[in-house]
Structure 1
Amino acid sequence: MPEGHSVHRIALQFRRNFVGKRVAVTSPQGRFAADAALIDGRTMVDARAIGKQLFLEFDNALWLRVHLGLYGAWDFAGEITADDTIASAGGRMGQTNQHGTVLDSRGEDSIASMGAPRRTRLRMSESEKEDDSAFVFPPDPIGAVRARLLTDTAVADLRGPTACAVIDERTVAKVVAGLGPDPLVDDGPEAEDRVVRTITSKQTPIGLLLMDQSVISGIGNVYRAELLFRARLDPHTPGKKVPTETAAALWRDWAHLLDIGVRTGQMMTMDDLSPEDWVRAMASREDRHWVYKREGLPCRVCGTNIAMELMGARKLYWCPKSQV
């Protein structure tokens, strides 16, 4: 499932290539046809992400809300401003500056590696893959395309989302109110205080709380495992028993890792790597994480075999010795 950094990067693509332009909206699959008609021919005026939720605003006060879920993806094509961190092979990401500018939720800054628009195709989901082979614009919809957004120069096809609906501002506010803070949207002390209060008031294990989007927005299975290891925190610890300073550190570390994810397109969770190790980690998940998908392998810190179990119907990876 795409985690928070991926959705922020998708919002960036819409801000770069669709915001300010009139958009033809259709549903080649047919399931979204009635909603598509509500925004067809309108101008997109904003694109923003909150956690795993994407909100595209149009000039008639209606919004397209999308949650990709486990299987959703956006396919962009046309004159696309592609991020140079995207490599052309295998959906892997290229090297990028570890200390570059970070986009905020409204796109006030820009990624240094952004280039001029070029004719290309780009798939964005949990990973990203660019295809520079020749094609006729706009390409024909392929497969079950739930929604197609088309301008004079770019097209975005949505496949397999968990949620895809046109909603009004009141409904947007209701959805957002049910979400926990997102560091790229809520970066003040109030957000940290809210997260700390919520975590430390609950009996629920911290391994479940971090996946609860009403507690913190954007964290999925990879970031859950890595954040808990980086905090050396047992996933089974009840929220009430998590020290206040540890809960606050989890929030700040999530902000740090989300920052890296938006800049690089990868869930890089290991710090202080040499330039050579950074390049290797960007190319291979095996060199990018502390515990995720490393069950049975020795812990990088203590040598104990990494454990795997189901928690909240998702695979949890952790070190029984380092995380106590």
Structure 2
Amino acid sequence: MRAVLVVNPKATTTSERSRDVLVRALRSEVDLSVRYTRRRGHAADIAREAADQGVDVVVTLGGDGTVNEVVNGLMAARVAAAPDGTTPGPGRPDDADPSGPTLAERLPALATVPGGSTNVFARALGLPREWPDSTSMILEGLRLGRQRTIGLGRADDRYFTFCAGFGFDAAVIHRVEQARRKGRVSTPGLYLRSMLQQYVVGTERRHPAITVERPGEEAEADLATVIVQNTAPWTYVGDREVNPNPAASFDLGLDLLALRRLRVAGTTRTVTQFLSQQPDPHGRQVLRLHDLAEFALVSARPQAFQLDGDYLGEREKVRFTSVPAALRVIC
């Protein structure tokens, strides 16, 4: 079995020594090559090259941003595998033998060793938070052939594994990224301070501008911020799950939660519901939609936009699509 390990050398919770241990462990099970990312987007290039070369498994060592890039590289290869070069749906390509491999089976499987500060995707798959424990679980999965096929989300032409944000939460992530570029360490406290700063000075709360458009349904207008999930949880605060859409699943379509207003009392109550042991966000200011195949978010003014915790700038419109049975993962 051939594998490529994609390493983000800036991963926050690993060292050169721990990377060496990981490489030796993986080489006990697979024929391994190691690639280090050098720039933004490099992991996607490595993953697509691995798929083109017929590699069996792509392993990531990094945070959710590294995983997202690798997934987008693999999915670019998946699009190329479709007979007409367009984005394929689940199942087999039109020219395939019915007994042959599905599109997901044509791609390398993905294995994720958590090396970032939060590692939402790996933890949503049930992998331990610490990389040595996750490595042991992945090695066992490789030996036993243990894998599952998951769905992904797509926002315009980019895929995401666990979440997207349009509005307030994306603006908070932008503030966190700015702080990290200045040398701050990513902690729950940094996110909390960034959230408070954005709420107090950075958000236009009086005039909600976002609309959700769905095929065949009446539009939901005058929304202040939107969270989209492909699985639950949305994120973690330390070991505590944050669950705006607790029914979201890799095996279903996309889930959406929107707030109609960002008033202090209502927003505080909703955030408390996110953090509950049995989360069920509700109230007059909450809009929740479950298992969506497609929809669009449209705004009267530019909104901050993020995918898998990676800030992507401002947009006035984003079209979302659920992509079922898209990718095999080792877990």
Assess same fold via TM > 0.5: no
Give the TM-score of the pair, scaled to structure 2: 0.29
Give the TM-score of the pair, scaled to structure 1: 0.30
